[in-house]
Amino acid sequence: MDNRRHELSAYRLEEAERCLRSAKLLYEAEDYKSSVNRSYYCVHNAMRSVFALQGKDYKKHSALMSFFRSEYIKTKIFSDKMSDVLRDLFLSETKVIMRIFTLSANKMSQSNLTMPSIFWSK
């Protein structure tokens, strides 16, 4: 496999880890909206890391999630739980963007912090 693909994948995984660290710090600082955003981008970067190994990338977030589901979840490379994780993170991020963030922000943010760990268990 092309060394550049491995380097790009490693870089994107480092970005995912950085986003997760930021999400945890933001959560501790009670900045729940920003924590949700960083959790979302943690998983986004982790998915892009996986695709980098194949030399693929997707500009649109919806395309990235759709192809990830079809190539990695439906084929059982990743657990079916990952589909729920993607849905929940996408909905959380959408609520933040649409300013529909409710009083359950703390709970949503806390839940989002545990979701990205599924990538590191693979």
- CATH number of 110's domain: 1.20.120.330
Residue 36: exposure state from Cβ atoms within 10 A (0-12, 13-18, ≥19): buried
Percentage of the chain lying above the pLDDT 90 cut: 40
Range(s) of the domain holding residue 40: 3-117
Count of domains for the chain: 1
In a domain, 47, yes or no: yes
Average pLDDT for the chain: 82
Q: Higher confidence at residue 117 or residue 62?
A: 62
In a domain, 45, yes or no: yes
In a domain, 122, yes or no: no
DSSP string for residues in 88-108: HHHHHHHHHHTT---TTHHHH
pLDDT for residue 103: 45
pLDDT for residue 91: 74
* 102 confidence band (pLDDT: 50, 70, 90): low
Is residue 118 scored above 60 in pLDDT?
no
